Amino acid sequence: MLYLIHRVKEEFMMQKLTSLTSPLELNNGVKIPGLGFGTYQTPADVTYDVVTKALKAGYRHIDTAFLYGNEEGVGKAIKDSGLAREEVFVTSKLWNTDRGYDKTMAAFEKTMANLGLDYLDLYLIHWPANHKQFGDEAEKINAETWRAFEDLYKAGKIKAIGLSNFMPNHIDALLKTAEIKPMVNQIEVHPGWPQTEAIRYNERHGILTEAWAPLGEAAALSNETIAQIAAKYGKSTAQVCLRWGIQQGILPLPKSVHEERIIQNTDIFDFELTEDEMDIIGALRNLGGQCKVPDQVDF
């Protein structure tokens, strides 16, 4: 049943992915490659090498953040790849200590200097300010941060702007003052933590869901149910987790520092999970990963 809903949505959006570079279209018309490469916890001193390998493996979408401390390696690998700038989609994120209009403007400049690029494809607010930390000020802080994002977008410095870890209540609040609708919301999604309600909400608002920790930070990979499904297709459990993501119309961002895994994670376009398998994986719970609730975090 769940899968049927996913399927209707997939056909409605007519954005079926057939290869690593198949694009999805954002609500402002910008095209984004439907599988991205993650770099969280990729140490700065290996990032250049790892991202070079990812680009060689065919990824054309790299996800980084100011927090990761590796924007420089990402930018240099793209520059040295021989690919034209417009062939690679680059995302970075504003860290939590830089919220607010003026600080966002300054943080964006720092990120661009780190990357050494003259425009960014996608910039995300890494986490919403929440009531736990900021009380009634939270919504105002998010609105002011978003106003800076809108101005950077209008100035042509960013092709698309979006959110990360925003749940429906945060987006409802933001939309009260937003002039420009977010194009993306990057949230934790993996077997065991399906986030169905948040994904549905994003869909209804024309916001593309990106899945961080699509492998549950590797915790989902030892699950027996997923292993049985993987064996049927001659695939790895990682490939099944990623396939489960793209068949729902969401955009997974797997990370690895190992070349064979970097390559393996791209090989997910030659099999299709059945409706039952989609539902079985969607019903799994408590496999691991961070499973953070954005209204409860202290950072």
Ligand X SMILES: NC(=O)c1ccc[n+]([C@@H]2O[C@H](COP(=O)([O-])OP(=O)(O)OC[C@H]3O[C@@H](n4cnc5c(N)ncnc54)[C@H](OP(=O)(O)O)[C@@H]3O)[C@@H](O)[C@H]2O)c1
Residue 221 and residue 238: Cα distance in Å, rounded? 6
Which of 10, 217 has the CB closer to ligand X?
Answer: 217
Q: Which residue is nearest to ligand X (CB)?
A: 38
The answer to whether 258 is a known ligand-binding residue is: no
Nearest-approach distance from CB 149 to ligand X, in angstroms: 15
Write the CA distances from 60 to 172, 265, 282, integer angstroms: 32, 14, 28
The answer to whether 170 touches 294, Cβ cutoff 8 Å, is yes
Long-range contacts of 256-259 (CB under 8 A, 24+ apart): 256/50, 257/42, 257/46, 257/50, 259/53, 259/57
Question: Which residue type, as a one-letter code, is found at position 50?
Answer: V
Alpha-carbon torsion 188, 189, 195, 196, what sign?
Answer: positive
**Minimum distance of ligand X from residue 172's CB (angstroms):** 20
Listed residue (117, 119, 104, 116) closest to 157, CA to CA: 119
For ligand X, give the closer residue by CB, 216 or 249.
216
Active-site hit among 59, 68, 123, 153: 68
Query: CB 8 → ligand X: shortest distance, Å?
Result: 27
* Interface contacts to ligand X, rule CB under 6 A: 38-40, 63, 126, 164-165, 186, 212-218, 221, 236, 238, 253-258, 261, 264-265
Buried b (16+ CB within 10 A) or exposed e, 185-216: bbbbbbbbbbbeebbebbbeeebbbbbbbbbb
The tokens describing 68, both together, are 């990761």
Smaller CB separation from ligand X, 40 or 101: 40
Q: Minimum distance from CB of 279 to ligand X (Å)?
A: 21
Shortest distance (Å) from residue 106 CB to ligand X: 21
Q: Which is nearer to ligand X, 38 or 249 (CB)?
A: 38
Q: Using the minimum distance from each CB to ligand X, give the nearer residue, 7 or 225.
A: 225
- SS3 track for 70-88: CHHHHHHHHHHCCCCHHHC
- Is residue 101 part of the annotated active site? The answer reads no
Contact partners, residue 181, CB within 8 Å, separation at least 6: 27, 175, 205, 206, 207
Report the binding-site residues for substrate.
126
What residue numbers does the annotated binding site cover? 126
Just list the catalytic residues: 68
